[in-house]
Amino acid sequence: MNQREDEMKMIYQLGIENRIPLRVTHNDTKINNVLFNDKDVGICVIDLDTVMPGFVHFDFGDAIRTFANSSDEDEKDLSKVSMNMEYFKAFSTGFLSEMKDVLNETEKETLAFSAKLMTFIIGLRFLTDYLEGDTYYKTNYPEHNLVRARVQFELLKSMEEQYEEMGSIIQNLT
């Protein structure tokens, strides 16, 4: 994980340099915070207590982390964990159909990276919670957060393997 240290600081550094703006962000755009109707069409985002200033990368990256994961967040069989590129492309297409004229060039250039960033951050959060005695996330068994962390880091590896394609998809959509 140490080899990722500088890379994972990139979005914050771009913000400090005013190359990407703070925006109103949800900051918890996982799939279970989308309300679906009886035809499985997303109709609105819920759980608005996390709305605050942030970078668009937080919302896009967290959405990809949950929407495009081929497995459950607590899958014990890591061979089932990967990022589904079809889902990545579908989400990116919908997102950018609404946002490409709003985002600046730096935001667009770093959008694919945000999936790796948020997956890494959430993996660290699960691992930290496990090491601290499971005080933040609700768990169903003693090693639940450790399993969750492993899933996130396996998903991150899958994203890294497909990162060039992710970037190409974003570039083609913008």
DSSP symbol at 102: T
Instruction: Please tell me the predicted confidence (pLDDT) of residue 103.
Output: 98
Instruction: Please tell me the predicted confidence (pLDDT) of residue 5.
Output: 83
Collapsed DSSP state (helix, strand, coil) of residue 69: strand
**Structural domain boundaries of the chain?**
2-74+82-173
Model confidence, pTM:
0.91
How would you write 49-64 as a 3-class SS string?
Answer: HHCEEECHHHHHHHHH
Q: Poorest-confidence range of 21-25, 46-50, 114-118, 132-136?
A: 46-50
Q: CB–CB of 116/163 below 8 Å?
A: yes
Measured CA to CA, the distance from residue 128 to residue 143 in angstroms comes to 12
Residue in the structure block whose two tokens are 């069989």:
77
Looking at CATH, the fold of the domain delimited by 2-74+82-173 is given as Aminoglycoside 3'-phosphotransferase; Chain: A, domain 2 (3.90.1200)
Measured CA to CA, the distance from residue 150 to residue 64 in angstroms comes to 17
Collapsed DSSP state (helix, strand, coil) of residue 151: helix
Q: Which is more confidently placed, 49 or 146?
A: 146
Instruction: Please tell me the predicted confidence (pLDDT) of residue 14.
Output: 96
Region 164-171 average pLDDT: 97
Instruction: Please tell me the predicted confidence (pLDDT) of residue 42.
Output: 87
